[in-house]
Structure 1
Amino acid sequence: MYLSRLTLSDFRNYKQLELPLGPGVFLFHGDNAQGKTNLLEAVSMLATATSFHASSDREVVNWSAPDHVARLDGVVRRREDSIELEILILDPTPPTFAPSSGVTVSPRSIELPAHAPRKRYKVNGAPKRTIDLIGQMKVVMFAPSDLHLVDGGPEERRRFLDRALCQVQPRYSMALVKYRKVVAQRSALLKRIRENQEDPKMLNYLDEQQIQLANQIIYERRRMVDALNEQANHFQQTISGGREQLQIVYRPSFKVESSWSLSEASQQYQEQLREIRKKEIMQGVCLRGPHRDDLEFLVNGVNMLSYGSRGQQRTAALAAKLAELSFMHTSTGDQPILLLDDVFSELDASRREYLLGQVARYEQVMLTSTDLESFPADMLQRSHRYQVVGGELRGED
C-alpha cells in the first residue's frame, strides 16, 4: 500500500500542493515551523479522519483560505485496487486579529446552515460517512510523543491502541464513538442523580449500553495486546543486545478474566458497576470502563513507568511501535504507510540505526527532519528528498 498522490488546498500553511508520490522513502527536511509535520498530519488525517497534532479541526484551515475551507485529497494504491480519498474541513468561526498584527482574514462569502457538518468525506468521489473513510488507507505514526508512550499518561497508551484498532476494524471505531457518547451521558446523569434531580434507576439503560460497548472494546484491545507481545519482546531483545525481556500488560479498570466468554464478561461487568454505583453517584463520574484502562510495560519483570531508565523506556516504546507495525500488516495483509516525524533527533545512534533498518523495508516511508547528517549516505542517495520552506516543496532528486 502506498500513497501515489497528495493534494492539499489551504491546509495549514499549504495554500496549494500537488505532490506525486510512490513506493520508497520520502524525506522532507527543513527548519522548524516550515510545514514538515503538516504534511504528515494531512496523510494521517486521510487514514484516520482526525489530526494527531490539532486539538480542533478548525486549526488545520489556513487563516486566509477563501470561505475558510481546507481540502485534502489522496490517491492510494492498494494490493487489489486504487482508491481516492477526500476530506473537506470547514472552519465555522474564522479567527479575528487586531489590525496591528498585519494578518488579514477574508470574510466568508457563503452562508453555512446552522447544523452543517464541519467535515465532509468522499471515497472515489462519492459522499461517505466518517466510518467509511477510516481504514481505507493504513498508517503508523512515529512522533516524538510516541517515545513517551511508556512514561506518559494513560490517555497516550489508550490512544496507541485505539489508533491502530480503528484503522484495522471499522466496527471498533463505531463502538468507540458510541462508547464515548454513552460515558458522557452517563456522567451527566450521575451528577443529576447526586443533586437529587433524577431517579438512580435511570442508570440501568445506560449501564447496559456501556457494558455492551465496553465488552467489544476490551475484547479487541486484549487481542491486540496479545498480538503485540508476539513481536515486541523480539524487538526489545535485539535493541538491548539480548539483555532485556519486554512484556506489555493490559490493565483494564474492570476486573477481567481471560477464561470469561463475552456473555460471562457482560454479567461480570454489570455486577462490578452495581458494586460501585454509590461511589460513582457521589463523585459524579464513570469509574469503570475502557476510558480508564491502561498498559503496563515490564522489562525483566520491572515496571518501566515507575522504575525504568530513560533508555529502557524509549527502547520499550520503540519495540511497541514496531510491534504495532507488524500487527497492522498481519491483520490487514497490507503494509501500512510509515510516517516518522523528526524522531531520529530524539534517539541515540544505536536506536536510530535499528529503527532505520526496520522501517526501510516497508513499501512507503515518509520522514521529516531538520538535519540530514543523522541519516546514512546510502539512505540519502536512494530517498526522494524535498526541502520544505514556508509551505512549499523543493525537490532535490
Structure 2
Amino acid sequence: MYLSRLTLADFRNYEQLEVSLGPGLFLFHGENAQGKTNLLEAVSMLATGTSFHASSDREVVSWSAPAHVAHLDGMLQRQEGQAQLEITLLDPSPALIPATVGSSSSARSIELPAHAPRKRYKVNGAPKRTVDFIGQMKVVMFAPTDLHLVDGAPEERRKFLDRALCQVRPLYSVALIKYRKLVTQRSALLKRVRENQEDPQMLNYLDEQLVQLANQIIYERVRMVKALNEQANQFQQAISGGREELRIIYHPSFQVDVDWNPLEAPGHYMEQLHAVRKKEIYQGVCLRGPHRDDLEFRVNGVNMLSYGSRGQQRTAALAAKLSELAFMHNTTGDQPILLLDDVFSELDAQRREYLLCQIASYQQVLLTATELEGFPDELARRFRRYRVSNGTLTVSEEY
C-alpha cells in the first residue's frame, strides 16, 4: 500500500501542492514551522478522517483560504486496486487575520444551512460516509509524543489503541463515535439527577446503550492487546540485547473475565454500573467504561510508568509502535504507510539504528527531519529527499 500522488489546497500553510510519491523512503527536511508535520498530518487525515494534533478540523483550513475550504486528494495504490481519496473541509468562520498597515480586518464568515456537513469524503469520486471512508488507507504515525506512550497520560494510550482499530475495524469506529457522544449525554444527565432535575430511572436507557457499545469496544481492545503481545516482546528483546522482556497489560475500568462470551458480558457490565450509580450521581461523571481504560507496560515484571528508566520507557514505546505496524499488517494483509515525524532526533544511536533497520523494508515510509545527519549512508542513498520551506517542496540532492 502506498500513495502515488498527494494534492493539497489551502491546507495549513500549503496554498497549492502536488507531489508525486511511490514506493520507498521519502525524507522531508527543513527548519521548524515550515510545513513538514503538516504534510504528514494531511496523509494521516486521508486514512483516519481526523487530524492527529488539531483540536478541531477547522484548524487545518488555511486562514487565507478565499473560499474557507481546504481540499486533500490522494491517489492510493493497494492490493485490491487503485483508489482516489478526497476530503473537503469547510471552516465557515475562520479566525481574524491581523490587519496590515493601511488596511482593516473584519471577520469573514458564511452562512450554512442547518446540519450542513463541514467535512465531506469521496472515494473514486463517489461521496462516502465517514465509516465507509476511514480505513481505505492505513497509516501508522510515529511522532515524538509517542515516545511518551508509556509514561504519558492514559488518554494517549487509549488513542494508541483507537487509531489502529478504527482503521482495521470499521464497526469499531462507529461504536467509538456513538460511545463518546453517549458518555457526554450521560454525564449531563447525571448532573441533572444530582440537582433533582431528573428522575434517576432516566439513566436506565442510557445505561443499556452504554454497556452494549462498551462491550464492542472492550472486545476489540482485548484482541488487539493480545496481538500486540505476540510481537512486542521480540522487539523489546532485540532493542535491549536480550536483557528485557515486555508485556502489555490491558486495564479496562469494567471488571472483565476472559471466560465471558460477548453475549453475556453486557449483563456483567450493567451490574457494575448499578453498583456505582450513587457515586456517579454524586460526582456527576461516568465512572465506568472504555473512556477510563488504560494500558500498563511491564518490563521484566516491573511497571514502567512507576519504576522504568527513561531508556526502558522509550524502548517499550518503540516496541509497541512496531507491534502496531505488525498488527495492522497481519490484520489487513496490507503494509500500512509509515509516517515518522522527527522522531530520530529524540532517539539515541542504538534505538535510531534499530528503527531504521526495521522500516527499511516497508513499502512506503514518509519521514521528516530538521537535520540530515545521523542517517546511515547506505540507507540515505535510498531516500528521495525534499526540502520543505514555507509550504513549498523542492527536490533536494544534498546530504
TM band (smaller chain):
over 0.9
1:307-353 CA distance string (max 9 Å, x none):
00000000000000000000000000000000000000000000000
Partner of 2:42: 42
Partner of 1:259: 259
Partner of 1:56: 56
Normalising by structure 1, we get a TM-score of 0.98
Partner of 1:346: 346
Partner of 2:28: 28
Q: How is 1:70-149 mapped onto 2 (pairs within 5 angstroms)? A: 70-99=70-99, 111-149=111-149
Partner of 1:293: 293
Letter in structure 2 aligned against 1:387: R
Contiguous gaps of at least 5 residues in structure 1: none
Partner of 1:67: 67
- Would the alpha carbon gap of residues 109 and 186 (structure 1) be closer, same or farther in structure 2, given more than 3 Å must change? closer
Question: 1:48: how far off?
Answer: 0.1
1:99-146 CA distance string (max 9 Å, x none):
258998797596432432111111111111111110000000000000
Q: Say whether the 8 Å CA contact 1:90–1:118 is kept in structure 2.
A: yes
Q: Does residue 1:235 correspond to 2:240, yes or no? A: no
Q: Distance in 2 between matches of 1:308 and 1:104?
A: 55
Q: Distance in 2 between matches of 1:179 and 1:287?
A: 14
SS at match of 1:25: strand
Partner of 2:337: 337
SS at match of 1:205: helix
- Would the alpha carbon gap of residues 190 and 383 (structure 1) be closer, same or farther in structure 2, given more than 3 Å must change? same
Letter in structure 2 aligned against 1:269: Y
- Would the alpha carbon gap of residues 106 and 67 (structure 1) be closer, same or farther in structure 2, given more than 3 Å must change? farther
SS at match of 1:66: coil
Q: Say whether the 8 Å CA contact 2:42–2:72 is kept in structure 1.
A: yes
SS at match of 1:93: coil
Q: Say whether the 8 Å CA contact 1:239–1:315 is kept in structure 2.
A: yes
Q: Distance in 2 between matches of 1:391 and 1:104?
A: 26
Partner of 2:177: 177
Q: Distance in 2 between matches of 1:318 and 1:31?
A: 25
SS at match of 1:263: coil
Q: Say whether the 8 Å CA contact 1:28–1:388 is kept in structure 2.
A: yes
Question: 1:396: how far off?
Answer: 2.2
Letter in structure 2 aligned against 1:37: T
Q: Does residue 1:382 correspond to 2:382, yes or no? A: yes
Q: Distance in 1 between matches of 2:80 and 2:40?
A: 25
SS at match of 2:340: strand
How many equivalent residue pairs? 397
Q: Distance in 2 between matches of 1:139 and 1:91?
A: 26
Q: Distance in 1 between matches of 2:164 and 2:382?
A: 29
Q: Say whether the 8 Å CA contact 1:338–1:365 is kept in structure 2.
A: yes
Q: Say whether the 8 Å CA contact 1:64–1:105 is kept in structure 2.
A: no
Q: Distance in 1 between matches of 2:328 and 2:27?
A: 23
Q: Distance in 2 between matches of 1:152 and 1:185?
A: 28
Normalising by structure 2, we get a TM-score of 0.97
Q: How is 1:192-231 mapped onto 2 (pairs within 5 angstroms)? A: 192-231=192-231
Q: Distance in 1 between matches of 2:159 and 2:311?
A: 22
**Structure 1: 4+ residue segments shifted above 6 A:** 101-107
SS at match of 2:67: helix
1:238-279 CA distance string (max 9 Å, x none):
000000000000000001111111122111101001100100
Partner of 1:317: 317
Q: Say whether the 8 Å CA contact 1:17–1:392 is kept in structure 2.
A: yes
Letter in structure 2 aligned against 1:286: C
Q: Distance in 1 between matches of 2:381 and 2:104?
A: 42
Letter in structure 1 aligned against 2:64: S
Contiguous gaps of at least 5 residues in structure 2: none
Percent identity, please. Answer: 75
1:365-386 CA distance string (max 9 Å, x none):
0000001101111222111100
Q: CA RMSD in A?
A: 1.5
Q: Say whether the 8 Å CA contact 2:328–2:336 is kept in structure 1.
A: yes
SS at match of 1:335: coil
